[in-house]
Amino acid sequence: MEILTIATQAFSDQRPGTSGLRKKVSVFQAPHYLENFVQSIYDTRTDLAGGTLVLGGDGRYYNRQAVQIIIRMAAANGVARIIVGQGGLLSTPAASGIIRKHGTNGGIILSASHNPGGPDGDFGIKFNTPNGGPAPEGVTEAIFARTREITEYRTLASKDIDLDTIATLSLGNTRVEVIDPVADYAALMEQLFDFKRIHRLFDSGLFRMHFDAMHAITGPYARRILEEMLGAEPGTVINGIPSEDFGGGHPDPNLVHAHEVVALTSGRNAVDFAAASDGDGDRNMILGRDFFVTPSDSLAVMAANAHHIKGYSGGINGVARSMPTSQAVDRVAEALGIDCFETPTGWKFFGNLLDAKRITLCGEESFGTGSDHVREKDGLWAVLFWLNLLAVRKQSVKEIVQEHWRRFGRNFYTRYDYEGIDTEAANGLMAHLQARLPDLPEATLDGYTVDYADNFAYTDPVDGSVSKNQGIRIGFTDGSRIVYRLSGTGTAGATLRVYLEAFEPDREKQDQETAAVMQPLVEIATDMAEIETRTGRKQPTVIT
């Protein structure tokens, strides 16, 4: 087959963010845009020539076309073997697991995670390194630098390959293996969790649940594992067929966007347990009957109960959380006598800690939890962890969490998202806060005394790398916190996230409504940042 060398011009906007390169579909469809970025991966990751590449995505609009482009370019650049999910599909955690299981030279994952899909929606691409995790900054910066100077890319003059049939094919000198996207992942979950015990929970007839796949990638995974392997009733998985536009919805598993499954946890016929996952399968939301488990609490409960779970019964090495995530897991780590690390937002920052066996469990407040089984957060894994825990403890979700609060105290927590605001205004707001930091320690704000105020910087304890300007923290002497960050996961304008946390050790006060507890901090946070004045927003887009 003929290798074509195509002349191109560099684009200036291909710097990957915290989760790869994300843009509108129309941007990726522009001539040479996707090809330039993919060629920059092949040019900088020279071990892919003669090596093995894992490839797949969440099935959103343009996924199939992009997979074909990447395969042809891989063959033209000398990749010896490509492992691709049937239909071009792989959940992000499944892709990470396949990279690790098969010892490949890395993987290309196509996803914009929880962002909307469809012709007018978002698309994304990222490279995962041989450990299965998102590329660290050194790798992404090298790829970005190459995109700024690229003048040509290579591809094959060939037809599309059959992605829908499990088979091994040849494309020039490259072997393309189209695999069952679920099989390896399901086998890994069976190693970690007590499937027989969970099966008995469903067989009892006393336990009901629903899992909302949100018309996204986890549908096939959840149906195979929950309904076929674990014996949950047919129909337990709702919205389980992946759709290019996620059924016209927003595949973000929170109380707003996953309202359908949230509604199933209330009323006379409420289920005992419910959960949801996002576009690419790496996020999760956990619900009990009339009860929402914050992602921060979920991580803390997992750490405190890991000894009940087969794959973690020997103990955990340590835990880590992103800086904006509540400090609930810190208290568990202290009680267990294990390390707890505070990292910047972005799953890649957990990779070195996991590889060095400094931690076993990790999580982010943005509905992501995971462990050392892969190097990505893992939505369905979290659901299975909770199912296993419910089967062992024979308590409700609410009882387990409230018992946890009584032992460790409760970290009330909420997040305000202001999406799609003017980028210049957002940067001005952050600069305003930065200028105020030196005067804040020991100041009193509406009865709260400031303990510290800084722009979070992280020094990796494994390789010594330093990441600065990771978000503004304002901590108070009573354990409360306010955190401000500009998110790197959007594709239009800027997203300001404001995180609020209040610690309550008094058991008699732990059942208050979160909104009421947080209101004083909300007022401090919005006034201090001058949010309405600077952004024009009186209310956040989403509150979680």
Q: What is the mean pLDDT of residues 498-519?
A: 95
Structural domain that includes position 107:
3-181
Q: What is the mean pLDDT of residues 198-226?
A: 97
Pairing relationship of beta strands 52-57 and 81-89 according to DSSP bridges: parallel
pLDDT by residue (tens digit) across 425-437?
Answer: 999 999 999 999 9
Pairing relationship of beta strands 410-421 and 368-371 according to DSSP bridges: unpaired
Amino acid at 324: P
Q: Three-state SS for 467? A: strand
CATH code of 433's domain? 3.30.310.50
Pairing relationship of beta strands 481-486 and 472-476 according to DSSP bridges: antiparallel
Confidence tier at 391 by pLDDT (50, 70, 90): very high
Contacts of 524 by beta carbon, 8 Å cutoff, 6+ apart = 445, 446, 448, 482
Angle at which helix 92-101 crosses helix 183-192, to 10 degrees, equals 80
Task: Name the token pair of 101.
Answer: 């299981």
Confidence tier at 17 by pLDDT (50, 70, 90): confident
Residues 368, 445 within the same domain: no
Task: Name the token pair of 213.
Answer: 């796949």
Residues 165, 190 within the same domain: no
User: Do the Cβ atoms of 123 and 25 come closer than 8 Å?
Assistant: yes
Residue 346: which of 144, 527, 134, 173 has the closest Cα? 134
Tell me which of 148, 165, 181 is where a domain ends: 181
Task: Name the token pair of 368.
Answer: 């992501």
| Residue 488: pLDDT over 70 | no
Confidence tier at 42 by pLDDT (50, 70, 90): very high
User: Do the Cβ atoms of 40 and 127 come closer than 8 Å?
Assistant: no
Residues 193, 65 within the same domain: no
Give yes or no: 113 in active site.
Answer: yes
User: Do the Cβ atoms of 85 and 176 come closer than 8 Å?
Assistant: no
Residues 404, 414 within the same domain: no
Q: What distance in Å separates the CA atoms of residue 347 and residue 320, rounded to the nearest whole number?
A: 11
Q: Where are the strands (E) in 230-317, listed by range?
A: 237-238, 273-277, 284-288, 291-293
**CA dihedral for 495, 34, 86, 245, sign (positive or negative):** positive
| Residue 264: pLDDT over 80 | yes
Q: What distance in Å separates the CA atoms of residue 109 and residue 85, rounded to the nearest whole number?
A: 11
pLDDT of residue 336: 97
Residues 373, 452 within the same domain: no
Residues 308, 244 within the same domain: yes
Residues 399, 422 within the same domain: no
Q: What distance in Å separates the CA atoms of residue 500 and residue 531, rounded to the nearest whole number?
A: 15
| Residue 481: pLDDT over 90 | yes
Distances (CA, A) of 112 to 397, 415, 419: 31, 21, 16
Q: What distance in Å separates the CA atoms of residue 122 and residue 508, rounded to the nearest whole number?
A: 46
Report residue 138 CA to chain centroid gap.
21
**Backbone phi, then psi, for 333, in 5-degree steps?**
-60, -40
Residues 169, 217 within the same domain: no
Contacts of 376 by beta carbon, 8 Å cutoff, 6+ apart = 92, 93, 95, 96, 128, 132, 133, 134, 282, 347, 370
Number of H helices, E strands in the chain: 17, 27
User: Do the Cβ atoms of 531 and 461 come closer than 8 Å?
Assistant: no
Residues 387, 490 within the same domain: no
Residue of 19, 91, 111, 113 marked catalytic: 113
Confidence tier at 339 by pLDDT (50, 70, 90): very high
> How many structural domains are present in the chain?
3
Burial class of residue 354, CB neighbours in 10 A (0-12, 13-18, 19+): buried
Residue 34: which of 64, 78, 3 has the closest Cα? 64
Burial class of residue 141, CB neighbours in 10 A (0-12, 13-18, 19+): middle
pLDDT of residue 542: 85
Please give the DSSP secondary-structure letter assigned to residue 46.
G
Residue 212: which of 263, 141, 161 has the closest Cα? 263
| Residue 489: pLDDT over 60 | no
Tell me which of 150, 181, 212 is where a domain ends: 181
Higher pLDDT, 489 or 194: 194
pLDDT of residue 76: 98
Please give the DSSP secondary-structure letter assigned to residue 49.
B
Q: What distance in Å separates the CA atoms of residue 220 and residue 466, rounded to the nearest whole number?
A: 40
Report residue 394 CA to chain centroid gap.
29
Q: Residue 172 CB: number of other CB atoms within 10 A?
A: 16
Q: What is the mean pLDDT of residues 341-347?
A: 93
User: Do the Cβ atoms of 538 and 421 come closer than 8 Å?
Assistant: no
pLDDT of residue 1: 78
pLDDT of residue 491: 54
Confidence tier at 352 by pLDDT (50, 70, 90): very high
Q: Report H helices in 257-344.
A: 259-263, 295-305, 328-336
Residues 403, 441 within the same domain: no
| Residue 230: pLDDT over 60 | yes
Tell me which of 408, 427, 449 is where a domain ends: 408
| Residue 540: pLDDT over 90 | yes
Mean pLDDT over each residue of the chain, to the nearest integer: 96
Residues 150, 58 within the same domain: yes
| Residue 229: pLDDT over 70 | yes
pLDDT by residue (tens digit) across 58-68?
Answer: 999 999 999 99
User: Do the Cβ atoms of 482 and 416 come closer than 8 Å?
Assistant: no
CATH code of 290's domain? 3.40.120.10
Residues 328, 402 within the same domain: yes
Q: What is the mean pLDDT of residues 519-535?
A: 96
Task: Name the token pair of 413.
Answer: 């927590």
Confidence tier at 492 by pLDDT (50, 70, 90): low
Confidence tier at 490 by pLDDT (50, 70, 90): low
Is pTM beyond 0.85? Reply is yes
